[in-house]
């Protein structure tokens, strides 16, 4: 039997509606007691000092859940490995991450999925995966959803690419609905984005770069919503569409309307889309290049509003490591993506909590309980009795500046090097094990 | 927060010319004054200005005028030049722009003139090498030396300050001796017509000319001239302005200068264009020129596609300054090389 006591912290657990001082007892990797600080049972155990964590002045919350990360393994280990990527996750307060399938080979088979999830990969936190929706993520033929779900898949996506064909997307939504998992869509009408490397508009025109219009995102979202409606009517199942990294007011409006209509649509927003705009591209900064791109200020504000009003279900980083030699090239040639696991909490607290007044408990829900719900994850994203002891302990008032060179990730491609963050992780605990101390 | 942290100091060597946005009106005046001083110098004296200095010309895209004029400009100043092109170098083997730049620096290059198909490539090269980099055209972004030579051509032909100085400095009131300032092109309307979307020349001129007082009118069909082009006018200090006029004939009636642009077939990428209709609406012909009046100056950065955006009679007539532009190119590029290497003349 192993035990751990987290004493004197301010516990926030949105799933239980707790937002106050509590002590937490962990036993054998699970939550064994949640008690008012100084309460009888937990403290009475008086565990030896080395098994106690003093959380006085700190927030104790469910470990963060990121349903959108690229860990680059198998096949792209010069960018990241499961070991280094999950170490970065732990440093950022995350205890569960969901790996995207655009590895080499593409994770479209039970064999690759099992290889990724195997203990030998050395994941520091709970690793889950969304395999490819179509074979090779080529958009033509859907993968074996049933076998993949049995092997642990928590959803399906061709992330990095959209599932463009109506018939293929319909088949994916129906197959996923029968298994109770979401299809996670990278919404981009690639017929509108050929050769494009940033958001369409005045900045792109000035820089002489081809721009992706907002419609490239919203058209696919609108198409997918139409498919949901058709499937509910004709197939007798209720498919779940999850829209990844929503970046435009137009797509958010479509999602808001679909939710009001009662369709099962969820969506995520990435920290860079609610903190930065296309202006960050500056002098062709490739660390401000990702897909979907940084948008106009009006779109950034729309993402913030959608986080505040509940249209956005969760925050997901789209952590996308790339080696410096890959990013230090001509802007149009540089790969899309930035790292994000270590900066997500600090950006969310700074922009949503401090600047926009979102209650701390809401921020935590967007980063733990709600993403867990999107993928139907049980016993995580909450500190209920019996749940896995996935815990983040952080100093909510600490102001600090991120230093990319200190990152646990193998790659340092972040536009937030030196950026001011709010809230610093002091400890991350996954299934009762301390996986990070800061 | 809407911007990532950035250092205050410019990461670019001060002799670099990456975009006209980096040029103040005083910088423009200084470059044109240097141009005039170098032009007045005896050839033998000029040939000593950059003696012993090494300049690399790095060309990832084909070029006739720009490459040759930079090369001749450097040689006329006594510099050693080396030309590296993507077709005959390790670039073909996959060497990156950064490594190519570092190699040139290790071989003694003190400045690099870069032509590249990717917008922004000169910024990368300048950051990677720390050398002065002269942007000789990057993708659809900028062609600053072209805008400067166009400005000099206009100043000379309209006999305004800052152009070719045929007069001695002892006659301060004479045309050409006055430094360029924010109102030098006050009252002058320059029409830039054609494929604005894909044109680095259009972007450079649309940003430079209003700074010295010109009213710039962009003219072209929606597909080649989106409304966002007006953003080029944002933050312009100076007395000029930027606007869009879709009707070429109406634009020409107000124009003192018209710059014609080639349709860039290599960059069209999916833009469907009816060339017959395009020519009917936007081709500069002898008739259009006659209707606009004899004062209208005709310019073209080259290469021209005769019979498409311009006809022979318009290109070769007395109102054309196209060959003078080329000559001014040589002169202005001398000044840019001297500036890049921090030499005072």
Which B residues 241-300 touch A at CB under 8 Å? 269-270
pLDDT of residue B172: 39
Residue among A23, A375, A344, A364 nearest A182 (CA): A375
Q: Which residues of B touch A209 (CB under 8 A)?
A: 119-120, 139-141
Q: Distances from the Cα of A75 to the Cαs of A79, A84, A101, in angstroms?
A: 10, 14, 11
CB contact under 8 A, A329 and B1: no
Distance CA A230, CA A236 (A): 10
Q: Distances from the Cα of A277 to the Cαs of A160, A216, A243, A249, in angstroms?
A: 20, 18, 20, 13
CB contact under 8 A, B123 and A280: no
Please tell me if residue A356 touches chain B, with a CB cutoff of 8 Å: no
Q: Which residues of A touch B140 (CB under 8 A)?
A: 208-209
Output the tens digit of pLDDT for each of chain A's 438 residues: 789 999 999 999 999 999 999 999 999 999 999 999 776 565 556 778 888 999 999 999 999 999 999 999 999 999 999 999 999 999 999 999 999 999 999 999 999 999 999 999 999 999 999 999 999 999 999 999 999 999 999 999 999 999 999 999 999 999 999 999 999 999 999 999 999 999 999 999 999 999 999 999 999 999 999 999 999 999 999 999 999 999 999 999 999 999 999 999 999 999 999 999 999 999 999 999 999 999 999 999 999 999 999 999 999 999 999 999 999 999 999 999 999 999 999 999 999 999 999 999 999 999 999 999 999 999 999 999 999 999 999 999 999 999 999 999 999 999 999 999 999 999 999 999 999 999
Output the tens digit of pLDDT for each of chain B's 345 residues: 433 444 456 889 899 999 999 999 999 999 999 999 999 999 999 999 999 999 999 999 988 899 999 999 999 999 999 999 888 788 888 899 999 999 999 999 999 999 999 999 999 999 999 999 999 999 999 999 999 999 999 999 998 876 654 433 433 333 445 789 999 999 999 999 999 999 999 999 999 999 999 999 999 999 999 999 999 988 766 678 999 999 999 999 999 999 999 988 877 777 778 889 999 999 999 999 999 999 999 999 999 999 999 999 999 999 999 999 999 999 999 999 999 999 999
CB contact under 8 A, A276 and B2: yes
User: What is residue A287's three-state secondary structure?
Assistant: helix
Distance CA A340, CA B137 (A): 35
Q: Does residue B80 have a cis bond before it (omega within 30 degrees)? A: no
Mutate to test the interface with A, among B10, B20, B118, B135 (most CBs of A within 10 A): B118
Q: What is the ipTM of this complex?
A: 0.93
Which A residues 298-337 touch B at CB under 8 Å? 300, 325, 328-333
B93 burial class (0-12, 13-18, 19+ CB within 10 angstroms)? exposed
pLDDT of residue A158: 98
Of A200, A332, A418, the CB nearest to B5: A418
Which A residues 397-416 touch B at CB under 8 Å? 401, 415-416
Ramachandran quadrant class, B213 (left: phi over 0; alpha: psi -120 to 50; beta: rest): left
pLDDT of residue B165: 46
| Joined tokens for residue B204 | 């450079």
Ramachandran quadrant class, A75 (left: phi over 0; alpha: psi -120 to 50; beta: rest): left
Q: Which residues of B touch A300 (CB under 8 A)?
A: 2
The dihedral sign for the CA sequence B222, B228, B230, B232: negative
Q: Does residue A200 have a cis bond before it (omega within 30 degrees)? A: no
Please tell me if residue B106 touches chain A, with a CB cutoff of 8 Å: no
DSSP string computed for B299-313: E--S---BTTTB-HH
Distance CA A251, CA B319 (A): 53
pLDDT of residue A38: 72
Of A203, A209, A297, the CB nearest to B2: A297
Q: Distances from the Cα of A299 to the Cαs of A419, B63, B239, in angstroms?
A: 21, 40, 33
Q: Under 8 Å CB-to-CB from A138, ≥6 apart: which residues?
A: none
Of A204, A277, A333, the CB nearest to B118: A333
Which pTM value belongs to this model? 0.94
Mutate to test the interface with A, among B11, B95, B117, B119 (most CBs of A within 10 A): B119
Distance CA A267, CA A315 (A): 9
DSSP string computed for A31-77: EEEEEETT-HHHHHT---GGGEEE-TTSEEEEPEEEEEE---TTT-T
| Joined tokens for residue A66 | 């990121």
The dihedral sign for the CA sequence A7, A9, A10, A13: negative
Residue among B334, B345, B332 nearest B32 (CA): B332
pLDDT of residue B173: 38
- Å from B203 to nearest chain A CA? 7
């Amino acid at each position: 039997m192993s035990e751990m006591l987290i004493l004197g912290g301010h516990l926030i657990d949105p799933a239980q509606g707790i937002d106050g001082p509590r002590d937490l007892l962990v036993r054998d990797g699970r939550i064994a007691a949640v008690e008012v600080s100084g309460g009888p049972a937990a403290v009475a155990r008086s565990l030896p000092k080395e098994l106690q964590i003093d959380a006085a002045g700190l927030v104790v919350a469910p470990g963060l859940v990121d349903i959108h990360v690229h860990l680059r393994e198998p096949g792209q280990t010069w960018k990241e490995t499961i070991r280094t990527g999950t170490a970065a996750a732990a440093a950022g307060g995350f205890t569960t991450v969901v790996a995207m399938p655009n590895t080499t080979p593409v994770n479209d088979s039970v064999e690759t999925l099992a290889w990724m999830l195997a203990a030998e990969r050395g994941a520091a936190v709970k690793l889950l995966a969304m395999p490819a929706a179509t074979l090779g993520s080529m958009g033509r033929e859907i993968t074996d959803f049933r076998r993949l779900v049995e092997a642990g898949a928590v959803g399906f996506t061709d992330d990095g690419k959209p599932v463009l064909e109506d018939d293929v997307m319909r088949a994916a939504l129906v197959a996923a609905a029968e298994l109770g998992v979401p299809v996670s869509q990278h919404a981009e009408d690639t017929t509108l984005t050929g050769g494009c490397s940033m958001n369409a508009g005045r900045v792109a025109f000035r820089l002489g770069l081809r721009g992706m219009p907002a419609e490239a995102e919203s058209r696919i979202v609108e198409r997918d919503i139409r498919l949901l409606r058709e499937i509910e009517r004709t197939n007798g199942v209720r498919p779940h569409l999850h829209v990844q990294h929503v970046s435009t007011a137009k797509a958010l409006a479509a999602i808001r309307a679909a939710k009001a209509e009662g369709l099962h649509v969820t969506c995520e927003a990435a920290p860079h889309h609610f903190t930065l705009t296309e202006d960050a591209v500056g002098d062709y900064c490739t660390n401000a290049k990702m897909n979907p791109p940084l948008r106009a200020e009006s779109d950034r504000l729309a993402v913030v509003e959608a986080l505040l009003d509940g249209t956005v279900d969760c925050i997901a980083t789209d952590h996308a490591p790339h080696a410096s030699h890959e990013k230090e090239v001509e802007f149009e040639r540089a790969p899309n993506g930035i790292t994000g696991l270590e900066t997500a909490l600090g950006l969310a607290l700074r922009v949503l909590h401090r600047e926009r007044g979102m209650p701390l408990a809401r921020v935590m829900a967007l980063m733990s309980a709600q993403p867990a719900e999107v993928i139907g994850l049980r016993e995580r994203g909450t500190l209920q009795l019996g749940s896995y002891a996935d815990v983040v302990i952080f100093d909510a008032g600490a102001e600090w500046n991120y230093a990319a060179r200190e990152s646990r990730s193998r790659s340092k491609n972040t536009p937030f090097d030196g950026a001011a963050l709010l809230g610093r992780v002091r400890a991350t605990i996954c299934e009762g094990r301390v996986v990070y101390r800061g | 927060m809407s911007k990532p942290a950035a250092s205050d100091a410019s990461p670019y060597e001060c002799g670099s010319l990456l975009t006209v946005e980096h040029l103040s009106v005083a910088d423009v005046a200084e470059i044109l004054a240097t141009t005039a001083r170098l032009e007045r110098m005896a050839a033998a004296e000029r040939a000593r200005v950059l003696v012993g200095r090494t300049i690399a010309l790095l060309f990832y895209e084909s070029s006739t005028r720009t490459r040759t004029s930079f090369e001749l400009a450097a040689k006329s100043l006594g510099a050693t030049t080396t030309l590296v092109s993507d077709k005959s170098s390790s670039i073909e083997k996959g060497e990156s722009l950064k490594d190519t730049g570092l190699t040139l620096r290790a071989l003694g290059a003190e400045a690099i003139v870069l032509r590249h198909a990717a917008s922004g490539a000169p910024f990368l090269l300048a950051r990677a090498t720390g050398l002065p980099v002269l942007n000789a055209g990057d993708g659809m972004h900028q062609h600053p030396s072209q805008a400067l030579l166009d400005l000099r051509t206009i100043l000379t032909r309209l006999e305004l300050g800052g152009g070719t100085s045929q007069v001695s400095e002892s006659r301060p009131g004479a045309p050409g001796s006055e430094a360029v300032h924010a109102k030098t092109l006050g009252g002058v309307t320059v029409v830039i017509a054609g494929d604005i979307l894909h044109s680095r020349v259009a972007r450079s001129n649309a940003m430079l000319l209003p700074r010295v007082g010109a009213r710039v009118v962009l003219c072209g069909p929606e597909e080649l001239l989106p409304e966002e082009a007006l953003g080029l006018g944002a933050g312009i200090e100076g007395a000029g302005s930027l606007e869009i006029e879709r009707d070429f004939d109406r634009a020409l009636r107000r124009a003192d200068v018209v710059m014609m642009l080639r349709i860039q077939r290599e960059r069209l990428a999916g833009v469907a264009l009816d060339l017959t209709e395009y020519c009917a609406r936007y081709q500069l012909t002898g008739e259009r020129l006659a209707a606009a009046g004899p004062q209208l100056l005709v310019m073209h950065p080259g290469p021209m596609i005769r019979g498409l955006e311009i006809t022979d009679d318009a290109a070769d007539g007395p109102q054309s300054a196209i060959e003078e532009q080329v000559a001014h190119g040589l002169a202005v590029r001398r000044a840019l090389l001297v500036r890049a290497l921090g030499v005072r003349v």
